Amino acid sequence: MKRLSVSNLLGIKYLQPEDLHLIFETATHFKEVINRPIKKVPSLRDITIANLFFEDSTRTKLSFELAEKRLSADVINFSVSQSSVSKGETLVDTVKNIIAMKVDMVVLRHPNSGAAHFLSKYVDSCIINAGDGTHEHPSQALLDAYSLYEKFGDLSGKRIAIVGDILHSRVALSNIYALKMMGAEVKLCAPKSLLPKLIESLGVTISFDLMEVLNWCDAVNMLRVQNERMELSYFPSTREYSQKFGLNIERMNQLRKKIVILHPGPINRGVEITSEVADSEQAIILDQVENGVAIRMAIIYLLGSQINIKVT
């Protein structure tokens, strides 16, 4: 059986191109499985997975949980508001206690950048990063890249734009790593205040002109303005942001070609994207959600089969 080059999924940065191919190949198999009348396989019947969510989540949490259940793993869920973390327990202590209950794998979402990496140094269990602060969100980037691969085939030379709040987005960084690894060209578009300094060192280009970017790209990933991560005001008003950086039908109609539209969700309709565009045929937002389950099944299956347990 082919193996991943890593034993945790902490970020796309730590993966090799072959890992992405293996994850995609495995996800294609699982996508077929979850479209069957009987969607469940016994592959991870002997493993126990804890979903530890220290931050709100709808799609990612449900998608991981479904993926785990479709693989027949035992699943326990933890969210910070109902835990002893509010009594002052540290992350490492919380996780060590959970692992002492014989948990094989931990899926961690945490508001602090680097939390998954930090945890992997202290606990001897397989860790999957489900989003750490403004750092990485590897499973999202894998499902985005997989959805593009389904649409275009080989991504080498494809032009992909990422528009919106790049500064506070873990989706942006993981997408940049994944898309570059697959040979795509990446252009970022955002107000200057929402772009990290030195981001061009990752091999991406920048534009402040949304129409120029839309005319350039084959696909655009529209990101939400992450208001919950902002202590300051990064642009004059939401209305002004939408006028300069929002995707609407008038802009789409001015293009010389049809482009593919992605969004990781949750959507702020009327801010970064209008309803007309989000619900249009060019948007693959719900395909991304479907692919998310298959991709997460692939990640869990491949990592699960590398730990010292029986996988059928």
Closest approach of ligand NCD to the CB of residue 194, in Å: 13
Residue 222 interacting with ligand NCD (CB under 6 A): no
Cα separation, 257 vs 160, whole angstroms: 14
Contact 43, 71 (CB under 8 A): yes
By CB under 6 A, name the one of 13, 45, 59, 180 that touches ligand NCD.
59
Among 138, 191, 246, 264, binds ligand NCD (CB under 6 A): 264
User: Cβ atoms within 10 A of the Cβ of 237, count?
Assistant: 9
Which residue lies nearer to ligand NCD by CB, 60 or 147?
60
- Residues 108, 109, 113, 115: is their CA dihedral positive or negative? negative
Which of 50/171 has CB closer to ligand NCD? Answer: 171
- What CA–CA distance (Å, rounded) separates 153 from 145? 10
By beta carbon distance, the residue nearest ligand NCD is 224
**Cβ contact 164:194 at 8 Å:** yes
- Contact between 131 and ligand NCD by CB under 6 A: the answer reads yes
Among 170, 184, 261, 285, binds ligand NCD (CB under 6 A): 170
**Is there binding between residue 135 and ligand NCD (CB under 6 A)?**
no
Residue type, 211: M
Instruction: Check residue 171 for interaction with ligand NCD (CB under 6 A).
Output: yes
How many degrees, rounded to 5, is the angle at CA 151 between CA 275 and CA 109?
Answer: 65
Tell me the residue type at 8. Answer: N
Q: Which is nearer to ligand NCD, 110 or 170 (CB)?
A: 170
* Footprint of ligand NCD (CB under 6 A): 59-60, 131, 137, 140, 170-171, 224, 226, 264-265
